[in-house]
Amino acid sequence: MIKAPIVREGYVFIFAAVILAVILGAALHPYWAVVPGVLACYFAYFFRNPERQIPTDASAVVSPADGTVQEVVPLDGDDFVKEPCNKVVIFLSVFNVHVNRSPIEGEIKCQKYVCGRFKPAYKDTVGFENERHMIGIENDRLRVTVTQIAGILARRIVSWVTLDDVLEKGELYGLIRFGSCTEIVMPRNVEITVKKGDKVVGGETIIGRIKDECTEV
């Protein structure tokens, strides 16, 4: 599991901004270094990879991303979860952590990348029209689909996994640059524990529980 405080994809942006700040500050005036200096700080902030406390509850499904729940909608099924299911859509602003985490432990049984457009990530149609990368994860109790979707600023989806890779719950598997959306599809035997407008934290917030393993309080 990647544990560096900043993911490697961010270093090129940070170093480029720092070098530009040094050049402008030395060649022109220190004031000219302010803007690229601020950009360097923002890139370090954007590509951050904070530590997360992964829930040990075996019945829990955790959020695959930081952000705000945009909608929760029922579906008849999708390409991987071939049964009645629910889709949770999470919007990531440019201020959210943008690494993606596996919502369950399991093996990647399906993977699909689709080229597309770059509409704003909050638009209802982005899941169908924008660039996206989907993985289907399966274990002995359920299968889920997680989809990274590019937004108007997010012009590259990064994946560090491939078919047959085995992921731990909460493990990092990818990144979307600069504003985006993440969708997770879960079968109906998973009780959804979030609603529209809720703030979620990737790898920590429990967004669903397997119903037949829930215990009454």
At 185 the pLDDT is: 97
Strand order in the sheet with 172-176: 99-101, 172-176, 157-159
Residues 136 and 158 in one domain: yes
At 99 the pLDDT is: 94
- Tokens for 85, please give them: 């299911």
pLDDT, one tens digit per residue, over 44-93 is 999 999 999 999 999 999 999 999 999 999 999 898 999 999 999 999 98
Q: Which residues constitute the domain of residue 128?
A: 60-212
Query: Is 154 inside any structural domain?
Result: yes
Residues 106 and 186 in one domain: yes
Query: Is 130 inside any structural domain?
Result: yes
Query: Is 53 inside any structural domain?
Result: no
Catalytic residues, by residue number, are 180
pLDDT, one tens digit per residue, over 3-15 is 789 999 899 999 9
At 212 the pLDDT is: 72
At 48 the pLDDT is: 93
Residue 108 near residue 164, CB atoms below 8 Å: yes
Query: Is 1 inside any structural domain?
Result: no
At 122 the pLDDT is: 44
Whether 20 has a pLDDT exceeding 80, the answer reads yes
Residue 62 near residue 203, CB atoms below 8 Å: yes
Rg, Å, the chain Cα set: 19
Query: Is 2 inside any structural domain?
Result: no
Lowest-pLDDT range, 72-86, 143-157, 168-182, 189-203?
143-157
Residues 89 and 183 in one domain: yes
Query: Is 169 inside any structural domain?
Result: yes
- Tokens for 193, please give them: 């524990």
Residues 76-93: b if buried by 16+ CB within 10 A, e if exposed? eebebbeeebbbbbbbbe
Domain total of the chain? 2
Residues 39 and 86 in one domain: no
Residue 183 — very low, low, confident or very high, per pLDDT cuts 50/70/90? very high
Residues 90 and 195 in one domain: yes
Residues 38 and 77 in one domain: no
CA distance 49 to 158: 15
Residue 2 — very low, low, confident or very high, per pLDDT cuts 50/70/90? low
Residues 26 and 109 in one domain: no
pLDDT, one tens digit per residue, over 100-156 is 999 999 999 999 988 755 444 444 444 446 688 999 999 999 999 999 988 665 457
Query: Is 3 inside any structural domain?
Result: no
Residues 173 and 75 in one domain: yes
CATH number at residue 77: 2.70.70.10
Residues 69 and 122 in one domain: yes
CA distance 20 to 40: 10
